Amino acid sequence: MANRRDFIKKTALGTLGISTTIGCKDLAKGEQKAPVLPADYATVKPIIISTWKHGFSANESAWNVLTNGGSVIDAVEAGVMVSEGDPNERSVGLGGLPDREGKVTLDACIMDHNSNCGSVSFLQGIKHPISVARKVMEDTPHVMLTGAGALKFALSKGFKEENLLTPESERDWKKWLEQSNYKPIINIENHDTISMLALDENNNLSGACTTSGAAWKMHGRVGDSPIIGAGLFLDNTVGAAAATGLGEAVIRTAGSAMVVEQMRMGKSPTEACKTIVERIYTIHKNHKDMDYLQVGFIALNKQGEYGGYSLRSGFDYAVCDGKQGNRMEDASFKMEWNEN
């Protein structure tokens, strides 16, 4: 894995007297722009944290919403939409890798500080499932819609149906078909899912999680990402957590809800993530999934403290606040890939 310090560059934030390590050159699609930060932000609120490198540009978008009068739920929605709409992100929305039948099927959920939540699973043909999830939250008596019902609902709300399978993803799927070996390796080059957590200056949390799920999954498979409590959970009196990695393992352990409960019991975000990763390891160490198992969590508490931890090496996340700007951080981890 490349050294994170290689990526870091100074930005104009220094001229505001804000200590800055912002920007990751290799993350830029075009020129990387620093978020516009008010100069007098001395605290760590607002703060945004999101999974993997695509979290970096997602954070920028969320930050712009938050610092231009948008709500924290608006911010997390806008943030993860960046990854959903990017055809070069092969694990989310448009361009996501398909299931073994060549279908791109999407899972997403969103949750606000009042514990309102909305979710869609096994949704096809809609580029921004997170926005459909938000509509489920706001415009229906339900939390979760799935498959054809979710699509029907999305169309009724004016979403446009489109082909999300890009030529690149179709090519990779055809190549995969030659061996048809299902072994979802989730690492820094081959990750899935953007999960984003944010805390605004009024102390309110929101979270969003969206993915095309594990590549080459069975048709109809739903992972942890649309499941409140598994892929995402928050309690506005405590903190928020979100997951990435093998969804089956996260569902088996109600991962994100458990991380929040660890924070409720007084653990720091990193310690809380570590405790649940250790639990997942204990449950899975003799499991058939173990040779490719990866899980990682990010967490953010009400004080604006954050952290992440993964089972195996190679998990990183993006953090954006008014003190240090936007940057990538490597999560601590339990083991290397060649250990069992």
Q: How many residues are recorded in the chain?
A: 340
Binding segment toward ligand SD4, per CB under 6 A, in 146-154, 156-164, 208-216, 265-273: 208-216
Strands 117-123 and 144-146: parallel
Residue 173, classified by CB atoms within 10 Å of its CB into exposed (0-12), middle (13-18) or buried (19+), is buried
Exactly one of 51, 105, 166, 193 is catalytic; name it. 193
Backbone φ and ψ of 139, nearest 5°: -115, 5
Residue 195 CB, shortest distance to ligand SD4, in Å, is 8
Residue 83 CB, shortest distance to ligand SD4, in Å, is 12
Binding segment toward ligand SD4, per CB under 6 A, in 6-14, 20-28, 200-208, 223-231: 223-231
Of 223, 229, 304, 325, which one interacts with ligand SD4 (CB under 6 A)?
223
CA 303 → CA 63, 89, 306, distances in Å?
18, 32, 9
Compare residues 32 and 244 and give the one whose CB is closer to ligand SD4. 244
Of 77, 84, 224, 261, which one interacts with ligand SD4 (CB under 6 A)?
224
CB count in 10 Å sphere of residue 69: 7
Residue 201 CB, shortest distance to ligand SD4, in Å, is 29
User: Cβ distance 2 to 314 under 8 Å?
Assistant: no
The sign of the torsion formed by the CA atoms of 289, 212, 33, 73 equals negative
Whether residue 141 is preceded by a cis peptide bond, meaning omega within 30 degrees of 0, is: no
Touching ligand SD4, residues 130-189 (CB under 6 A): 186
Residue 186 CB, shortest distance to ligand SD4, in Å, is 4
Residue 202 CB, shortest distance to ligand SD4, in Å, is 30
Interaction of residue 206 with ligand SD4, rule CB under 6 A: no
Backbone φ and ψ of 312, nearest 5°: -115, 165
Residue 119 CB, shortest distance to ligand SD4, in Å, is 13
Compare residues 255 and 304 and give the one whose CB is closer to ligand SD4. 255
Touching ligand SD4, residues 246-265 (CB under 6 A): 246-247
248 vs 244: CA distance, rounded Å: 11
Alpha-carbon Rg for the chain in angstroms: 19
24 vs 38: CA distance, rounded Å: 21
168 vs 165: CA distance, rounded Å: 8
Interaction of residue 210 with ligand SD4, rule CB under 6 A: no
Interaction of residue 225 with ligand SD4, rule CB under 6 A: yes
Of 66, 133, 214, 272, which one interacts with ligand SD4 (CB under 6 A)?
214
105 assigned to active site = no
Considering CB under 6 A, how many residues would be counted as binding ligand SD4? 14
Structural tokens at position 267: 């653990």
The residues binding ligand SD4 (CB under 6 A) are: 186, 191-193, 211, 213-214, 223-225, 244-247
Catalytic residues: 193
